[in-house]
Amino acid sequence: MSTTGGDSYDYVIVGAGSAGCVLANRLSADSDTDVLVLEAGTPDEKREIGIPAAFSDLFNSEVDWAFDTEPQPELNSRECYWPRGKTLGGSSSINAMIYARGQPADYDHWADLGNDGWAYDDVLPYFKRAEHNERGPSEYHGTDGPRNVADLQQPNELSEAFIEAGQIVGLPHNEDFNAGEQSGVGFYQVTQKDGQRHSAADAYLKPVLGRSNLTATTGAQVSQVRFDGRTAVGVDYVKDGSTETVDAAEEVILSAGTINSPQLLMLSGVGPAEHLAAHDVSVVHDLPGVGKNLQDHLQVKLNYACEKSVTLEGADSLWNVLKYLLLKRGPLTSTVAEAGGFTSVSAESDRPDIQFHFGPSYSVNHGFDNPDGHGFWLRALCLRPESRGEIRLQSADPTADPAIDPQYLTEGDDLETLLDGLKLVREILGSGAFDEYRGEEVAPGTDVQSDEGLIEHIRETAESLYHPVGTCKMGDDEMAVVDDRLAVHGVDGLRVVDASIMPTITSGNTDAPTTMIAEKAADYILEA
């Protein structure tokens, strides 16, 4: 393997996902600043990326890292599939496009943990700065930002039935989950524009690729951050079989995500010293929290057969494909998880601890094992799990996947909360709003009513909802990895800007919070 390179930039950004695309745009706005973005994946040219309803076709494809976790003892020792985007836009190019910011209390909690400037009132301006919300400006929403936020064009009638069913069981209708009060059921807003996915790459990166001071390189997997003493001075990366090196005059910024950012820190000598030594990695700085504090949303769902032919089955028919290609209309504009909601199932919780997503189609095992015919599903997830996992090196080889161990259901009331959520799922789908649609419950079947039987259903079928966070957490305690300006503790010239910096997971989907984090970080970097 040959070695080439030696170019220098002011900022080197590792990863062109939701955070990296934001940073590339904001930092390169200064024409006197040279910015390089390195993305391990391919350009976002795969046709299915742009078609909302086709997102599950991207799973286990060339634009998916397609990670698997370690066997999970509390999930019958199953390995869990974790898709992550490996293309321009990162996971914003393969996700379900749901725009959910979380609860104000999430961010106030970050501030209470000692992270100055991260309370809800501090971050709301950055949420607004990032979005062009088609509903128009308000106290909670902006219209001048790059990322388009829209309402679904043509919601399925089954999604309407879900919203009615939620109200039947006592949940209020919520028109906007991102306007302070999160409780209730309704339609999710989505990151779409004119019926197509609007990823971070679409919003932030592609419009500015013509800037002479911005370079974006795909197929470039970073192998290490280089240090001079304890100052980051550049990175090495592999492209087309050659190792190349670049210098960073100002900063190296890791935006490689919750799995790859801590892996890269450890490969570069920043992490738990004993663990690094075990893999013959020279220690630059002993930082024990790197890779720890892993959190994710674990979800469980019920699928029902549908007695009416009104689902997304057949959405890819010739007629619907033509309708989409010519008009950007029809069922292919669906995000599948069209509607949902938030509520509390715990008497001790003063805010929602469960999130719902409803889909007018079958979804069994990430969609890999769907039955034939028409069906629908509803899932519940525990919003703020107490369980904490970790990312570890399996090898000093940068091309080897790290060990991913979320340690699902090992702490606190996570299992009880998920069980109560599953019971509420059954209650909602059993309401009168679904009487004309509801067929057979696919699994575990309505003959399973005991807590023991439902818990076994959880252990056998629960899946990730693809929201890993926390492995480079922000804070000032001994397990913190970055400070409240996202600079890595104990070294200079290095920041982490992505979902890994969240000290605790947000109460909802994580793409919008990750975008906000990058918008805020850009200001910190430019002020430095």
Count CB atoms within 10 A of the CB of residue 31: 10
Q: Are residues 90 and 235 in the same domain?
A: yes
Residue 159 and residue 88 share a domain: no
Domain that holds residue 424: 153-187+298-382+410-461
Q: What share of the chain is helix, strand, coil (3-state, %, to 5)?
A: 30, 25, 45
- Give CA angle at 206 (204, 212), nearest 5°: 100
d(CA 472, CA 477): 12
- Nearest to residue 11, comparing CAs of 265, 255, 254, 249? 249
Q: Which residues contact 401 (CB under 8 A, 6 or more apart)?
A: 67, 394
Query: What CATH number is given to the structural domain containing 440?
Result: 3.30.410.40
**392: in domain:** no
Rg (CA), the chain: 22
**Does 44 fall in a domain?**
yes
Tens of pLDDT along the chain (528 residues) come to: 334 456 999 999 999 999 999 999 999 999 999 999 999 999 999 999 999 999 999 999 999 999 999 999 999 999 999 999 999 999 999 999 999 999 999 999 999 999 999 999 999 999 999 999 999 999 999 999 999 999 999 999 999 999 999 999 999 999 999 998 999 999 999 999 999 999 999 999 999 999 999 999 999 999 999 999 999 999 999 999 999 999 999 999 999 999 999 999 999 999 999 999 999 999 999 999 999 999 999 999 999 999 999 999 999 899 999 999 999 999 999 999 999 999 999 888 889 999 999 999 999 999 999 999 999 999 999 999 999 999 999 999 999 999 999 999 999 999 999 999 999 999 999 999 999 999 999 999 999 999 999 999 999 999 999 999 999 999 999 999 999 999 999 999 999 999 999 999 999 999 999 999 999 999 999 998
Give the DSSP H or E segment for 249: strand 242-254
Distances (CA, A) of 56 to 85, 202, 363: 12, 19, 10
pTM exceeding 0.85: yes
Enumerate the H helices of 301-379 as residue ranges: 318-327
CATH number for the domain including 72?
Answer: 3.50.50.60
Q: Assign residue 40 a region: left if phi > 0, alpha if psi is -120 to 50, beta otherwise?
A: alpha
The β-bridge partners of 299 are 381, 463
CB 140 within 8 A of CB 128: yes
Find tokens 């013509």 and name the residue: 210
Annotated catalytic residues are 467
User: What amino acid occupies position 180?
Assistant: G
Is residue 275 within 8 Å of 258, Cβ to Cβ? Answer: no
CB 146 within 8 A of CB 185: no
357 and 473 fall within a common domain: no
What's the total number of domains in the chain?
Answer: 2
